Amino acid sequence: MFESQQPVLTDHYDVVVIGGGPAGASTGALTAEHGHRTLILERSDVPRFHVGESLIPETYWTLQRLGLVERLRDSAYPRKYSVQFFSEGMKPSAPFYFDEYKNCESSQTWQVWRDTFDQMLLERAVELGATVHTQAQVIDAHFDGDRATGVRVRTAGPDSSRVDQDISCRVIVDATGQSAFLASRLGLKDTDPALKKGTIWTYFKDARRDPGKDEGATLIMQTAEKQSWFWFIPLPDNVTSIGCTADMDVLFPRGLTAEESFQRELNRCPAMVERLKNATRVRDYLKTKDYSYYARQGAGPGWMLVGDAYGFIDPVYSSGVFLALKSGEFAADAIHEAFETQDFSTEQLGSWQDIHAKGVDVFRKLVYAFYNPTFSFGRFLKMHPEFRSHVTDILIGDVFKRDFNACFESMGDVTPPVSA
């Protein structure tokens, strides 16, 4: 859709969003809906492939605000009602059903192909008034002192030539995902030494799913001695996304191919071997690594960071798209307020970031517990059944309202050891 009708860009917009993933599309859709002239620049063709197919229930509210829930209900994306954890490669825990404590419309979510899901978000941004240009790579950001004033974008010209254009704006939103365009330029990225992980993943047809309500469940399987873990994410057409995550030195040792490393970890996980017994791999092995980081500062005069460009913790609880959408929503409202008050300061544009950081921290602590070699959720919940609803709330993504301190205090310090 986008490539066949690229817009002619003007030299000024109120808001320029760099990146058209969930964070950029939601920010741009909602600033446009607020009435601000918004340009979203995406370097890829759309649709484009992306890892990260499992949603969590609290994405519902941003999707509802964007007017997309009906389209998801009409889609072929599998319904996800729960997540289930397996320890030592084979022992299943009771599934965490999202409707166990709150049975409401948002207690069910979806497993999505990210190419079509992200395209749907970008198309919605256009419907709400944003201008979207794909195949448009931002190659520079302009500042007047510390105030952001615009970007330089490179698009395709006639006969495979390239055209560079300077565009000024009141607010630049960096939604460039793991490229973290502004945070890298401004030297703001901090990595988390306790989470130096890598992932190898691929897709199988006809992997065994559980029946009924559990058919669309995400399964998280820790391998023997917690050396690594696998995800099992059911997708349309009986395709399942299977990924393996571990410390980078474990997953990418010298001399092993991605396939060999994946197979070695699979052999440590009998429950996954059993599910793949009659399955056929339908894609090459893909890999990514060193994706956990956080920007020390999320906003400045005339600029802000959203989604992965602001930070990413870990794939284990599928929190990435939720945090991308939620930060987009927070950012759009802060930008609207900035236009209303003509205050484009760090304080105004970053006004949502304390509450967001608190929510991110809740996920991070539960990620630490997952990787701690001596911590067991099964044991913890047996000793403290009163905290099962806290853990379920975090798995749902309901992290911004409740106070989780008592739950984490009972876990003690669960920071995992730093790997070599």
Ligand X SMILES: Cc1cc2nc3c(=O)[nH]c(=O)nc-3n(C[C@H](O)[C@H](O)[C@H](O)COP(=O)(O)OP(=O)(O)OC[C@H]3O[C@@H](n4cnc5c(N)ncnc54)[C@H](O)[C@@H]3O)c2cc1C
Q: Is 19 in the site for ligand X (CB under 6 A)?
A: yes
Residue 308 beta carbon to ligand X: minimum distance, rounded to whole angstroms: 4
Identified binder of ligand X from the candidate list 15, 16, 20, 305, rule CB under 6 A: 20
Cβ contacts of 88 within 8 Å, gap of 6 or more: 222, 223, 224, 225
Alpha-carbon gap, residue 369 to 384, rounded angstroms: 15
Q: Is 57 in the site for ligand X (CB under 6 A)?
A: no
Identified binder of ligand X from the candidate list 51, 248, 357, 411, rule CB under 6 A: 51
Q: Is 234 in the site for ligand X (CB under 6 A)?
A: no
Q: Tokens standing for 371? A: 């990787």
Q: Is 28 in the site for ligand X (CB under 6 A)?
A: no
Strands (E), 315-390: none
Alpha-carbon gap, residue 14 to 339, rounded angstroms: 9
Alpha-carbon gap, residue 280 to 399, rounded angstroms: 38
Instruction: Report CA 335 to chain centroid distance, whole Å.
Output: 22
Q: Is 226 exposed, middle or buried (0-12, 13-18, 19+ CB in 10 A)?
A: buried
Which one, 234 or 380, has the nearer CB to ligand X? Answer: 234
Give the side-chain half-sphere CA count within 13 A for 19. Answer: 26
Identified binder of ligand X from the candidate list 2, 14, 21, 331, rule CB under 6 A: 21
Q: Is 142 in the site for ligand X (CB under 6 A)?
A: no
Which one, 50 or 205, has the nearer CB to ligand X? Answer: 50
- The backbone region for 52, taken as left when phi is positive above 0, alpha when psi lies in -120 to 50, beta otherwise, is left
Per CB under 6 A, which region of 7-15, 18-26, 362-370, 390-398 contacts ligand X?
A: 18-26
Among the listed residues 40, 25, 51, 24, the one whose alpha carbon sits nearest the alpha carbon of residue 134:
40
Q: Is 43 in the site for ligand X (CB under 6 A)?
A: yes
Per CB under 6 A, which region of 14-22, 27-35, 85-93, 124-132 contacts ligand X?
A: 14-22
Q: Is 61 exposed, middle or buried (0-12, 13-18, 19+ CB in 10 A)?
A: middle
User: What 8-state DSSP symbol labels residue 192?
Assistant: -
- The interface with ligand X within residues 290-329 (CB under 6 A) comprises 291, 307-309, 312, 315, 318, 320-322, 324
Which one, 54 or 202, has the nearer CB to ligand X? Answer: 54
Q: Is 177 in the site for ligand X (CB under 6 A)?
A: yes
Which one, 269 or 316, has the nearer CB to ligand X? Answer: 316
Which one, 14 or 174, has the nearer CB to ligand X? Answer: 174
Binding site for ligand X (CB under 6 A): 18-24, 41-44, 48, 50-55, 137-138, 175-179, 181, 199, 288, 291, 307-309, 312, 315, 318, 320-322, 324
